[in-house]
Amino acid sequence: MRAILFPDPPRAFPGRRLVKIVLRGAHVVCAAFCLGAYAFDLSERVPWLLAAVVSGSLIVLLDLHESAAFLLEVRGFVVLAKVLSLAFLPASGAWLLAAIVFVSVVSSHAPSSVRHRVLLGRGRVRPAATRG
């Protein structure tokens, strides 16, 4: 089971980086429109929220395909915190989404040595091999 969840070396496939870049671009656009819809109290916000959730979920699946170590890294904890914070979205709306976008930008532009730092299982789990 360990070899399936935490392959050594982590799994890859040709074109992975391109797929992730396209998904990330779509995710950013959907999140931006969703934030705008909440900020301006527009009725079209739910489709953008769903599109952001779907595109973000596809990125997470791509990272999990590489290795479940993703969940034990700083970036995995950030994603988990973002997902959990969405439970409070109805009460806080635009402010919460703005905070999520801010945290996302800061964490995604942090050095890879920070993003890929293993918080749980250090020494037993190999962090992701790809940086994209």
What percent of the chain clears pLDDT 90, i.e. is strictly above it?
Answer: 73
Position with higher pLDDT, 132 vs 96: 96
Nearest CA among 85, 89, 104 for reference residue 46: 89
**Mean pLDDT value of segment 76-87:** 94
Map out the domains of the chain as residue ranges: 2-115
Confidence of residue 132 (pLDDT cuts 50, 70, 90): low
Per-residue model confidence as pLDDT tens digits over 95-124: 999 999 999 999 999 998 899 888 887 777
CB 92 within 8 A of CB 85: no
Q: How many whole angstroms separate alpha carbon 130 and alpha carbon 27?
A: 20
**Mean pLDDT value of segment 8-16:** 92
Count CA atoms within 13 Å of residue 6 on its CB side.
14
Q: How many whole angstroms separate alpha carbon 101 and alpha carbon 57?
A: 16
**Residue 120 confidence (pLDDT):** 83
Count CA atoms within 13 Å of residue 44 on its CB side.
7
